[in-house]
Structure 1
Amino acid sequence: MSTGTVATTMEHEEALGLADLFAGRMTSPAGYIGATPTSLIGRTGDLDRLATALATPDAGLVTVTGPAGVGKSRLVMEYFRRFGPGPGATVEVFDFGQVTDTAVCALMLRQLKEQFHDGSTSVRSAVERLGPGRHTVLFDHYEDVADELAPLLTEFRRSCPQVRIVTVGTARLGLYGERVVRLRPLPTGNGVAAELSAVARIPAVELFVQCARSVRPEFKLTAENFRYVLAVCRLVGGLPFAIELAANQVKLAEPDLILERFERGAGDLQRIDRHPYSRHSSISDMVGWVFARLRADERLLLNQLAVFEGPFTTRAAAGVLTGFDAAGYRTMERLIDASVLIPDERPDGELSLSIPNSVRLAAARSLVLLPDHEALRKAHGEYFRALAAPRPPAEAGTGARPAAGPESRADLLAAFGYWRDAGDGRSMAVLADALRELSGGTAQTRQCLRLTEEVLRTGVEDARLHARTLESAGELAMRLGSGAARGYLAQARDAHRAVHDDAGVVRCLGLLGDEAYACGDLERARRRFEEGLAVIASPARAGGTGDAAVGAGRYLTRRLAVVLRETGNLARADELARTALAAELGREDFGGVVSARYVLASIRLLEQDTADTRALFADAAEQVGGLPDVAERPECLEMLAITLYKWRRITDWRLLTATLGLADRLRRRQGLARPRPLNELTTAILATASQELTADDYTWAWRSGADLSWEAAMRLMPAEEAKPAAGPEVPTDIADVLTKRELEVALLVAEGLTNRVIARKLGIAEWTVVNHLRKVMRKLGCQSRVQVTRRLATG
Structure 2
Amino acid sequence: MTTGASHNGTSAVGVPVPLTALVGRRGEVTGIRRRLTASRLVTLTGVGGVGKTRLAFQVAATVVDSFPDGVHTVELAALRDGKLLAQGIAGALGLRGVSARDLHDVVVEHLRTRRLLLVLDNCEHLIDACAGTVDALLRAAPGLSVLTTSRQALGVTGEQVVHVPALATPEPGGRRSARDIGRFPAVALFEQRAAAVRPGFTVDAENAGAVAELVHRLEGLPLAIELAAARMRTLTVPEILARLDDRYALLTLGSRAALPRQRTLRELIGWSYALCTARERALWERASVFAGGFDLPAAEAVCSGDGLPREAVVDAVDGLVEKSVLIREEDREESGGRSRYRMLETIREYGREQLAGEDGEVARLRRRHRDHFLDLTVRAEREWFGPRQAELLTRRRHDHANLRAALEFCLDTPGETAQGMVLAVAPRHYWITLGSLEEGRHWLSRLLEAGPAADPGPAAALATRAYLEILQGAVEEALPILDEARSAAEQEGDRAASAWIRHHRGVVATWCQELPEAAALFTEAAAGLRALGDVGGATECTMKRALVAAALGDGALAARLGTECEAVTSAHGESWVGALTHFVRALAAWTDGDHGTAAAEAEARTAVRGLRPFNDWWDMAMCVELVAQSAAAAGDAHRAAELFGILHTLWKTIGGTLSAPPFLLDSHRHHESAVREKLGARAYDRAYRSGAGRPVPSAMAYVLGEEQADAPARVLTRREGQVADLVAAGLTNKEIARRLTITLRTAENHVERILAKTGFRSRTQLAVWRNEQGDA
User: TM-score, normalised on structure 1?
Assistant: 0.52
- Rate the CA distance shift 1:375–1:602 in 2: closer, same or farther, 3 A: closer
Letter in 1 for 2:694: S
* Distance in 1, Cα, partners of 2:581 & 2:326: 47
Structure showing greater radius of gyration is 1
Letter in 1 for 2:551: E
* Distance in 2, Cα, partners of 1:580 & 1:396: 12
User: How many corresponding residue pairs?
Assistant: 501
Which of residues 231, 237, 253 in structure 1 aligns to 2:75?
Answer: 231
Q: What's the offset of the Cα at 1:390?
A: 5.2
Partner of 1:211: 59
* Distance in 2, Cα, partners of 1:207 & 1:42: 17
Partner of 2:592: 607
Is the CA contact 1:271–1:282 (under 8 Å) kept in the aligned structure 2? yes
- Rate the CA distance shift 1:352–1:634 in 2: closer, same or farther, 3 A: same
Partner of 2:402: 411
Q: Quick check: 1:662 aligned with 2:640?
A: no
Partner of 1:275: 185
Cα displacement string for residues 662-683 of structure 1 (whole angstroms, at most 9, x for unaligned residues): 3444455566664333345435
Which of residues 583, 596, 601 in structure 2 aligns to 1:598?
Answer: 583
Is the CA contact 1:310–1:408 (under 8 Å) kept in the aligned structure 2? yes
Is the CA contact 1:594–1:620 (under 8 Å) kept in the aligned structure 2? no
Partner of 1:451: 443
- Rate the CA distance shift 1:260–1:211 in 2: closer, same or farther, 3 A: closer
Aligned residue runs from structure 1 range 235-314, under 5 A: 256=146, 258=148, 269-271=164-166, 275=185, 277-278=188-189, 281-282=220-221, 287-288=265-266, 289-295=268-274, 297=278, 301-314=283-296
Q: Quick check: 1:545 aligned with 2:531?
A: yes
Is the CA contact 1:409–1:435 (under 8 Å) kept in the aligned structure 2? no
Partner of 1:325: 308
- Rate the CA distance shift 1:576–1:206 in 2: closer, same or farther, 3 A: farther
Cα displacement string for residues 563-614 of structure 1 (whole angstroms, at most 9, x for unaligned residues): 3433445565455545555665655335544432431233123323366x52
Structure 1: gaps spanning 5 or more residues: 1-40, 45-68, 78-203, 537-543, 719-795
Q: Quick check: 1:699 aligned with 2:610?
A: no
Is the CA contact 2:122–2:150 (under 8 Å) kept in the aligned structure 1? no
Q: What's the offset of the Cα at 1:259?
A: 5.2
Partner of 2:66: 220
Q: What's the offset of the Cα at 1:294?
A: 3.5
Q: What's the offset of the Cα at 1:323?
A: 0.8
Letter in 2 for 1:513: G
Letter in 2 for 1:606: T
Which of residues 522, 546, 557 in structure 1 aligns to 2:515?
Answer: 522
Please say which of residues 472-481 and 707-716 is displaced more in the overlay.
707-716
Letter in 2 for 1:325: L
SS of aligned partner of 1:405: helix
Which of residues 462, 467, 478 in structure 2 aligns to 1:470?
Answer: 462
- Rate the CA distance shift 1:397–1:343 in 2: closer, same or farther, 3 A: farther
SS of aligned partner of 2:185: coil
Is the CA contact 1:509–1:531 (under 8 Å) kept in the aligned structure 2? yes
Partner of 2:205: none
SS of aligned partner of 2:581: helix
Q: What's the offset of the Cα at 1:637?
A: 1.5
- Rate the CA distance shift 1:715–1:431 in 2: closer, same or farther, 3 A: closer
* Distance in 2, Cα, partners of 1:503 & 1:385: 20
* Distance in 1, Cα, partners of 2:374 & 2:465: 19
Partner of 2:348: 360
Partner of 1:19: none
- Rate the CA distance shift 1:375–1:563 in 2: closer, same or farther, 3 A: closer
* Distance in 2, Cα, partners of 1:686 & 1:261: 52
* Distance in 1, Cα, partners of 2:628 & 2:564: 26
SS of aligned partner of 2:341: strand
Letter in 2 for 1:377: R
* Distance in 1, Cα, partners of 2:19 & 2:650: 35
Letter in 2 for 1:476: L
Letter in 2 for 1:487: P
Partner of 1:99: none
SS of aligned partner of 2:436: helix
Is the CA contact 1:573–1:603 (under 8 Å) kept in the aligned structure 2? yes
Letter in 1 for 2:412: D
Is the CA contact 1:433–1:472 (under 8 Å) kept in the aligned structure 2? yes
Is the CA contact 1:659–1:705 (under 8 Å) kept in the aligned structure 2? no
Q: What's the offset of the Cα at 1:513?
A: 1.1
Please say which of residues 379-388 and 307-316 is displaced more in the overlay.
379-388
* Distance in 1, Cα, partners of 2:567 & 2:654: 29
Q: What's the offset of the Cα at 1:454?
A: 1.6
SS of aligned partner of 1:294: helix
Partner of 2:664: 678
* Distance in 1, Cα, partners of 2:297 & 2:162: 32
Letter in 2 for 1:275: P
Q: What's the offset of the Cα at 1:700?
A: 3.0
SS of aligned partner of 1:295: helix
Letter in 1 for 2:644: L
Partner of 2:95: none
* Distance in 1, Cα, partners of 2:314 & 2:695: 50
Which of residues 614, 627, 643 in structure 2 aligns to 1:640?
Answer: 627
Is the CA contact 1:426–1:460 (under 8 Å) kept in the aligned structure 2? no
- Rate the CA distance shift 1:342–1:701 in 2: closer, same or farther, 3 A: closer
Partner of 2:496: 503
Which of residues 406, 412, 415 in structure 2 aligns to 1:421?
Answer: 412
Q: What's the offset of the Cα at 1:555?
A: 2.9
- Rate the CA distance shift 1:383–1:262 in 2: closer, same or farther, 3 A: farther
Partner of 1:36: none
- Rate the CA distance shift 1:430–1:284 in 2: closer, same or farther, 3 A: same
- Rate the CA distance shift 1:492–1:332 in 2: closer, same or farther, 3 A: same
Higher relative contact order (CA 8 A, sep 6+): 2
Q: Quick check: 1:491 aligned with 2:475?
A: no
Q: Quick check: 1:532 aligned with 2:534?
A: no
Letter in 2 for 1:211: V
Is the CA contact 2:555–2:588 (under 8 Å) kept in the aligned structure 1? yes
Aligned residue runs from structure 1 range 767-782, under 5 A: none
* Distance in 2, Cα, partners of 1:392 & 1:651: 43
- Rate the CA distance shift 1:479–1:316 in 2: closer, same or farther, 3 A: same
Aligned CA RMSD, in angstroms, stands at 5.2
Cα displacement string for residues 209-267 of structure 1 (whole angstroms, at most 9, x for unaligned residues): 652476xx6873454x744x34369889x9xxxx99999xxxx9986461566898999
Partner of 2:634: 649
- Rate the CA distance shift 1:512–1:259 in 2: closer, same or farther, 3 A: farther
Aligned residue runs from structure 1 range 741-760, under 5 A: none
* Distance in 1, Cα, partners of 2:434 & 2:315: 42
* Distance in 2, Cα, partners of 1:705 & 1:317: 36
* Distance in 1, Cα, partners of 2:630 & 2:519: 22
Is the CA contact 1:566–1:677 (under 8 Å) kept in the aligned structure 2? yes
* Distance in 2, Cα, partners of 1:261 & 1:226: 22
* Distance in 1, Cα, partners of 2:348 & 2:377: 24
* Distance in 1, Cα, partners of 2:490 & 2:508: 20
Letter in 2 for 1:445: L
- Rate the CA distance shift 1:442–1:317 in 2: closer, same or farther, 3 A: closer
Q: What's the offset of the Cα at 1:473?
A: 0.9
* Distance in 2, Cα, partners of 1:615 & 1:395: 30
SS of aligned partner of 2:586: helix
Is the CA contact 1:342–1:354 (under 8 Å) kept in the aligned structure 2? yes
* Distance in 1, Cα, partners of 2:65 & 2:354: 38
Query: Percent of aligned positions with the same letter in both sequences?
Result: 19
Is the CA contact 1:267–1:282 (under 8 Å) kept in the aligned structure 2? no
* Distance in 2, Cα, partners of 1:269 & 1:205: 10
Q: What's the offset of the Cα at 1:375?
A: 3.8
Partner of 1:373: 362
User: TM-score, normalised on structure 2?
Assistant: 0.53
- Rate the CA distance shift 1:463–1:339 in 2: closer, same or farther, 3 A: same
Aligned residue runs from structure 1 range 101-120, under 5 A: none
- Rate the CA distance shift 1:559–1:381 in 2: closer, same or farther, 3 A: closer
Letter in 1 for 2:441: L
* Distance in 2, Cα, partners of 1:373 & 1:426: 21
